[in-house]
Structure 1
Amino acid sequence: MTFRLLFFALLATAMGQSVVMTTLPPLGREAGLTEFQVAFLMSSSALMYAAGNALWSRVGKRKGYRRVLITGLTGYTIGTLVFATVWLSGFQGWLVGTALFLALTAARSGQATIMSATPPSVVGYAISISADHERVKAISKVSSAHSLGQILGPTLAGLLVGFHLLTPLYAISLMTLTALILVWRFLPDNQSTPTTPQTQKTGVAVTHSIQPYVPLVIGMNACVFLAVAMMQQSLAFFLIDHHGASTTEAAQGVGLAMMISAVCALVVQFTLVQRTSMHPANLIKLAFPLLSLGYLILYLHHDQSQLYFAMVFLGSGLGISYPAVAALATSSCKPENQATVTGFITASPAMGYIIGPPIAASLYQLSHRAPFLAASVMLATVTLIAVGHLRVKPNPSEDKL
C-alpha cells in the first residue's frame, strides 16, 4: 500500500511535468513568445526546482517525508492552476508581451519551488523503508512512476489539446489534487531508516573506492537530462518548422514521441532493472551508449517514423540510467549524508533543464538539427568517462545488485 501511494504521487507529478513539456513550446508559439523566452521559462523554473530539491530533501529528513510530500503536491496543484490561468489571460488579451512573459515566469518559478518537494520525499521515503540490498529495486519501483507518467501525460495532452491547448494543464491539477488527498488520508507517517552495517553483504558494496565517484555519477545524470531538455525544447519547434505541423499537431507529435520513449523506459525497468544481477555501475555503462545512439538517429532522421524509432533508444537508456545512478550514489555515502545525496540525485534532472533549453535555443538558430547532434556527442563523451572511471567491484562473494 505504501509503495502504491508513493508511486501514484510521483506518477501525478510526472504526468504534470510531461504535459507541461509537451505543451509549452506550442503554447509559446501560439502566444507569440520567442524560442528564447520559452527556453527561459524552462530554465528559470528548473533553477528553482533544483534549489528546492536540495532544500526539501533535508527538510524531509528532519520533519518527515510524508509532510514534505503533502507540501509538494499542494504546491503542484495550486501552481498548475495559476500557471494555466496566466496562459489563459494571455490568450484572452488581458496580458501581452513583456507583462505576459514576466507573469508566466513568476508563476512557473513559484510552482517549481514548492512542487520540488515531491521527488526527494518520495525517493527518501522509499529508501528509508528499504534494506540496502533492495534499494535499487525500491528506487526503480517508484521511479518507474516517472516513466509511466511520461506515457500517460503526453497521451492525455494529445487527447485534450484538441479542445484547447490549456485543457491538459487544468486536467492534471485534478490528478495531483487526488494524489494529495490519498497521501494525506492513507500514507503512514513512519520513515524509520533501516540500518545495515557496512560490513554486511549487500548487492551494492559500500566501499571507500566508490565514494569519490558520487559527484561524478550525479553529474552524469545531470548530463542525461541536459540532453533531454535540449530535445524537448527543440522538438516541437522542429516539427513546426521542418515538418510543417501546426501548434496542435506539434503538441500531439511530441506527445507521441515522449509516450514511445516512456513505454520503453517502463518496460526496461520492469524487465531488466528490477531483475538484473548487474552492478549499477555496469548498468550506467549500458545506458549512456543507448542514449547517444538515440540522439544520433534523431539528428539523422528524415521522416517522423525514424524520429519515433530514435525514442526507443532514448527511453531504454533513461529507464536504466536513473535508478542505477540513484542506487550507486545512495549506497556509496555515509548514512548521515544520504539525505543530501538524495536531494542532489532528484535535483540533477533540474540541473540539466537549467542550461539545456537556452543552449538548445542558441543551437537551433544555427541549425534545426544541431541540438540533437550536440546531445549525442555529449553523451558519447560521458560514455567514455563512465567506462574509464566507474570501475567499481562488488563484494567478492556477491556479483549482483
Structure 2
Amino acid sequence: MPHSAVAPRRVAGLLFAALAANAAGHAFVLVALPGLARRLGVSDLQAGLLIGLSALAATLAAPVWGVAGDRRGRRRVVLLGLGAGAAFLAVAAVLTEWRLAGRIGATGVFVALFAARLAQAVCGAGLMPAAQAIFADITAADRRARGMGLMGAAFGVGSIAGGAVAWRMAADAPVIALALLAAAVAAATLGAALRLPETCGRSGAPRPCGVRGLARFLAVTALALSAYAALQQVTVLRLQDGFGLAADAAIRAGGGMMMTAMAAMVAGQMLLARGLAWPPLRLSRVGATGAALCLAAAALADGPPPLFAAMAGLGLSLGLLLPGNLAQISLRAGGAQAAAAGLNAVAQGLGMAAGPIAGAALHRLSPQAPYAAAAAALVCAALLVWRAPPRFAD
C-alpha cells in the first residue's frame, strides 16, 4: 500500500487490537505458568529459568530489531513478532496436551517449551519497538503523547484480559485457554498482514537525528518500571507480614490491588488517547510527581484500604508518566524511531529485572522498605523530568 494511502485511524485500530491480543497471551503465560509448570512436572526453578532467560534474550534482541525496523521497515518486524507469539501459544497448547496425556516426559516438555519460548522471545522482541515507531509515524508531534498512550492502553487492556483468562481457565482448561489465545493472536497477525501498511518514511521527513541524548528519558523508564515491578513482587508479602492477612486472603487482596493499579494505568492512558491535550513535559512532570507521592503514601499506609488507594493513584500517575516519557523519546529520535524504541525496551527490561530482586531483598529488612525505595526511585525520575530541557520535551 502506498504511503499516501495510509489512514492513521485504521492503522492505530489495527495495532491496538494486535497489541492487545499479544499482551493477553503474554500475561496468561506469566500468570498461569508457575502453577501449570508443577502440573507438567517442571520444577519452580526451571519455570523461573524459562521466563527469566527468555526475557533476557528479548531485552538483548530488541535494539537489533529496532535498527532493522528503521532500515527495513516496521511492518515485517510487527508481523514476525505477532506470528512468533501465536506460534508459541499454539506449541504450548500442544505440549501441555501431550504432557497431561502422558505422551511426553517432564524433561521433554521443559526442553521443548524452553526452546519455543526462547525463539518467541528473540523473534518477538521487535514487536513493541516497531509498533512504537508506527505510532510515531502516524501521529503529528503535538499528538505524539496521545499515540503513545493508545499503545500503552492496548498493552494494559490485553494484560487485564490475559490475567482474567488465567483466573478462569488456567486451572481447569489450560489447553483450551492456550488454543483460544493462539487463535486470537493468529487472527491479529492475519489482519495485520492484510491491512497494515508500511509507514516508515511516509512523511518524507529528514532522516534520523539519531538516538543520542536519550539517557535522561531511558533512566526515567528504568526507574518507573523497576518501582512498579518491585511492588508486584512484594505487595502480597506486605499484606501478610505487615498487616497480618492469611495467605489466601493476601493473595486475593494483592491480586486485586495490582489489577486495580493496572486498570487505573489503562484509564490514564485512555484519557490521554481520547483527548487530554497536555504536552509531554507536563504529562511526565505530573505523572512522576504523582507517582512519587502515591508511593510515599503506600510506604506510610497502616492498613489494606489506604494501600489500595495509593496503588490506584500510582497506576493513574504511571498512565500519564510513561506515555509522556515515550513521547519525549520519540520526538528526540527523529527518523530513528524504532532504534530509539529498542533502546527503551532495554531500559524496560532492566527495570523489570532489577525491581523484583531489589523488592525481595528490601522486604527482608522491613515490609515498608520496598515502598520507600520505590518512592525514592520516582523522586529521582521526577527530578529528571523537571530538569528536562523544554525545547526537547514539548
How has the CA–CA distance of structure 1 residues 146 and 45 changed in structure 2, closer, same or farther, with 3 Å as cutoff? same
Q: 2:352, 2:63 → 1: CA distance?
A: 16
Gaps of 5+ in 2: 1-9
Q: 2:88 aligns with which of 76, 79, 85?
A: 79
The answer to whether structure 1 residue 66 and structure 2 residue 75 are counterparts is yes
The answer to whether structure 1 residue 382 and structure 2 residue 381 are counterparts is yes
Measure how far apart 1:76 and its partner are: 0.7
Q: 2:21, 2:93 → 1: CA distance?
A: 17
TM-score, normalised to structure 1, is: 0.78
The equivalent of 2:269 in structure 1 is 269
Which shows bigger deviation, 174-183 or 100-109? Answer: 100-109
Residue 192 of structure 1 aligns to a residue in which SS? coil
The equivalent of 1:226 in structure 2 is 226
Q: How does 1:87-126 map to 2 (within 5 A)?
A: 105-126=114-135
The equivalent of 2:352 in structure 1 is 353
Q: 2:222, 2:12 → 1: CA distance?
A: 26
The answer to whether structure 1 residue 144 and structure 2 residue 153 are counterparts is yes
The answer to whether structure 1 residue 392 and structure 2 residue 390 are counterparts is yes
Cα contact 1:150–1:259 (8 A) shared by 2: no
Q: 2:71, 2:353 → 1: CA distance?
A: 28
Q: 1:195, 1:263 → 2: CA distance?
A: 38
Which shows bigger deviation, 151-160 or 171-180? Answer: 151-160
How has the CA–CA distance of structure 1 residues 188 and 32 changed in structure 2, closer, same or farther, with 3 Å as cutoff? closer
Amino acid at match of 2:152: S
The Cα offsets for residues 286-338 of structure 1, whole Å up to 9 and x where unpaired, read as: 21233334444544556554443233122212211222112111212342x33
The Cα offsets for residues 343-383 of structure 1, whole Å up to 9 and x where unpaired, read as: 22244322322333333344455555544443233222322
Q: 1:140, 1:52 → 2: CA distance?
A: 24
Measure how far apart 1:26 and its partner are: 4.9
How has the CA–CA distance of structure 1 residues 119 and 196 changed in structure 2, closer, same or farther, with 3 Å as cutoff? same
Residue 348 of structure 2 aligns to a residue in which SS? helix
The equivalent of 2:15 in structure 1 is 6
Measure how far apart 1:102 and its partner are: 6.6
The number of residue pairs the alignment matches comes to 381
TM-score, normalised to structure 2, is: 0.80
Q: 2:179, 2:246 → 1: CA distance?
A: 28
Measure how far apart 1:217 and its partner are: 0.6
The Cα offsets for residues 256-299 of structure 1, whole Å up to 9 and x where unpaired, read as: 33432232222222334653443312321221233334444544
Which shows bigger deviation, 82-91 or 113-122? Answer: 82-91
Cα contact 1:21–1:232 (8 A) shared by 2: no
Cα contact 1:39–1:358 (8 A) shared by 2: no
How has the CA–CA distance of structure 1 residues 51 and 288 changed in structure 2, closer, same or farther, with 3 Å as cutoff? same
Amino acid at match of 2:203: P
Q: 1:88, 1:366 → 2: CA distance?
A: 43
The answer to whether structure 1 residue 135 and structure 2 residue 133 are counterparts is no
Q: 2:267, 2:165 → 1: CA distance?
A: 20
Residue 191 of structure 1 aligns to a residue in which SS? coil
Q: 1:362, 1:27 → 2: CA distance?
A: 27
Amino acid at match of 1:261: A
Measure how far apart 1:11 and its partner are: 0.9
Which shows bigger deviation, 56-65 or 79-88? Answer: 79-88
Query: What is the RMSD computed on CA atoms of the aligned residues?
Result: 3.8
How has the CA–CA distance of structure 1 residues 33 and 392 changed in structure 2, closer, same or farther, with 3 Å as cutoff? farther
Measure how far apart 1:162 and its partner are: 5.2
The Cα offsets for residues 110-158 of structure 1, whole Å up to 9 and x where unpaired, read as: 3221222221221222222333333222222333212222332323332
Gaps of 5+ in 1: 199-205, 395-399
How has the CA–CA distance of structure 1 residues 81 and 356 changed in structure 2, closer, same or farther, with 3 Å as cutoff? farther
Q: 1:300, 1:165 → 2: CA distance?
A: 40
- Indicate the percent of aligned positions where both proteins have the same amino acid: 25
Cα contact 1:130–1:138 (8 A) shared by 2: yes
How has the CA–CA distance of structure 1 residues 374 and 270 changed in structure 2, closer, same or farther, with 3 Å as cutoff? same
